[in-house]
Amino acid sequence: MSKRGQQILRRDKKQWMDGHILPLSSRKIIGYAYGTSMTAGLTIKAVENACLNVVSTEGIILHSDLGSQYTGNEFESFLASNGISTFF
C-alpha cells in the first residue's frame, strides 16, 4: 500500500483505486473502499467504513494529501458532520 492511502490495482484490464484508513497508533487498516476512480465518494466510503470500527469519531484528525477528493466541499462537509478534522 502506498504512503498516501491509495493504490492502483489492475484487474480485468481496468484500473481500480483503493482508499484506506490507518490509525497512527496501530497502523492497521480499519476502513477501505474500492472503485475505478479516486473520487470524493470513494474516500467518503473509506472513512464511513473506518467509522464503524471506532467508538466515537469526535476529535479524530484525518491526514491526507491535497488531492481534490480530500479538499472538495462534499468530503469536507462529511468530515465536519462527523466531528473529524483534517490535517494536510
Does residue 1 lie in a domain region? no
**pLDDT class of 13 with cuts at 50, 70, 90:** low
Domain that holds residue 51: 6-87
pLDDT at 1: 38
Can you give the pLDDT at residue 27? Answer: 79
**Total number of domains constituting the chain:** 1
CATH number reported for the structural domain that contains residue 77 in this entry: 3.30.420.10
- CB-based contacts of 70, cutoff 8 Å, min separation 6: 40, 43, 64, 86, 88
Indicate the average pLDDT of the chain: 82
